[in-house]
């Protein structure tokens, strides 16, 4: 009996392997996807090796060299992107700021996907009252204004990376849950699932071996598309003063500090803004590419 069940789900994993091979081949045809991967990979590499790539300490201040324009040489050093109002090197701060934004973005997506995947699988597989109760929980979460809830929570408990990740994750998981539930409802009625149940497979085995592989693709698509949104949310909270507390640099915090100098020292806000734009662009390009490849309705 166990051998029969393994034969059933063995074909599913083979199909999944063929699907990923098709994804890799598509890179040759879609140049925008390559650009997105390069932008995201560059951001990740710079963030990981920030201590080795930053030319100086991002918190080092010198009022005598404040608001220096890009490519200025001072104190025997060249400031490629200039300095801010406290004389801090903008390039070094940009490099270290990427760690905050990417950490919040990636872990928010990860935790949101984990919560939404679990709730969506249970809701879609069991249906009935379980589905009704869990979907009402989703509706309840969606009924709260996210920005207001985030501002109130962070203002009361104090800003920190963990709290920002938790606040974002506890709202975005509903997106994953709804999609996973819909896919699970359709997969549950298919013949290979009914065959596995008839052969004596338990609920946990059916979910893990037959339903889970089919819901991973939608989760990957949603995660890649929402990564950029997570970064924008974190930058927005930092811009409002509710992000990571100083002296830890963040892209949104740099925009907030430099907004008063936008007309006289354009570089103070231009480079952080470009960093956010390019990272989000990379995330969106990768997300669109994955959606075109993994979504059967959009395949050629």
88-127 pLDDT, tens digit per residue, is 999 999 999 999 999 999 999 999 999 999 999 999 888 8
- The predicted pLDDT at position 7 comes to 47
Neighbours of 3 (CB within 10 A): 6
Task: Convert the chain into a string of H (helix), E (strand) and C (coil).
Answer: CHHHHHHHHHHHHHHHHHHHHHHHHHCCCCHHHHHHHHHHHHHHHHHHCHHHHCCCCCCCCCHHHCCCCCCEEECCEEECCCECCCCCEHHHHHHHHHHHHHHHHHHHHHHHHHHHHHHHHHHHHHCHHHHHHHHHHHHHHHHCCHHHHHHHHHHHHCCCHHHHHHHHHHHHHHHHHHHHHHHHHHHHCCHHHHHHHHCCCCHHHHHHHHHHHHHHHHHHHHHHHHHHHHHHHHHHHHHCCCCCCCCCCCHHHHHHHHHHHCCCCCHHHHHHHHHHHHHHHHHHHHHHHHHHHHCHHHCC
**pLDDT for residue 13 is more than 80:** no
What is the tens place of the pLDDT at every residue in 163-191?
A: 899 988 888 899 999 999 988 888 877 77
Check: pTM over 0.85? Answer yes or no: no
Question: What percent of the chain is predicted at pLDDT more than 70?
Answer: 90
Please report the pLDDT score of residue 11 as a whole number. Answer: 54
| Mean pLDDT estimate for the chain | 84
Mean pLDDT of 259-275: 91
Q: Per-residue pLDDT tens for 272-288?
A: 999 999 999 999 999 88
The pLDDT, as a whole number, for residue 90 is 93
pLDDT at 22 over 80: no
Q: What is the Cα 191 distance to its own chain's centre? A: 35
Instruction: Supply the pLDDT for residue 270.
Output: 93
Assess whether pLDDT exceeds 90 at residue 21: no
- Contact call for residues 215 and 183 (beta carbons, < 8 A): yes
* pLDDT for position 39: 93
In order of start, what are the domains of the chain with their CATH numbers? 2-37+97-252+273-298 (1.10.3720.10)
Closest CA to 236 of 276, 278, 281, 285: 276
Q: Please provide the size of the chain in residues.
A: 300
């Amino acid at each position: 009996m166990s051998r029969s069940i393994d034969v059933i789900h063995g074909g599913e994993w083979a199909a999944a392997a063929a699907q990923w091979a098709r994804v890799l081949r598509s890179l040759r045809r879609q140049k925008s996807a390559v650009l997105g991967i390069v932008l995201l990979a560059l951001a990740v590499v710079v963030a990981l090796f920030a201590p080795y790539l930053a030319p100086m300490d991002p918190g080092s201040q010198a009022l005598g060299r404040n608001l220096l324009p890009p490519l200025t040489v001072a104190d025997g050093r060249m400031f490629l992107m200039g300095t801010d109002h406290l004389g801090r090197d903008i390039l070094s701060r940009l490099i270290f700021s990427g760690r905050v934004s990417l950490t919040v973005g990636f872990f928010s997506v990860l935790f949101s996907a984990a919560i939404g995947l679990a709730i969506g699988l249970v809701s879609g597989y069991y249906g009935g009252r379980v589905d009704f109760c869990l979907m009402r929980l989703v509706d309840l979460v969606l009924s709260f204004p996210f920005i207001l809830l985030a501002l109130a929570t962070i203002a009361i408990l104090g800003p920190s990376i963990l709290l920002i990740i938790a606040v974002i994750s506890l709202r975005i998981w509903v997106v994953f849950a709804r999609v996973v539930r819909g896919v699970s409802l359709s997969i549950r009625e298919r013949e290979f699932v009914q065959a596995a149940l008839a052969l004596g497979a338990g609920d946990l085995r059916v979910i893990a071996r037959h339903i889970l592989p089919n819901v991973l693709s939608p989760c990957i698509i949603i995660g890649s598309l929402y990564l950029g949104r997570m970064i924008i949310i974190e930058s927005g909270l930092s811009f409002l003063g509710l992000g990571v507390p100083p002296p830890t640099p963040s892209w949104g915090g740099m925009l907030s500090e430099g907004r008063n100098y936008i007309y006289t020292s354009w570089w103070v806000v231009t480079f952080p803004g470009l960093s956010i734009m390019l990272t989000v662009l990379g995330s969106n390009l990768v997300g669109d590419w994955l959606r075109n490849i993994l979504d059967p309705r959009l395949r050629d």
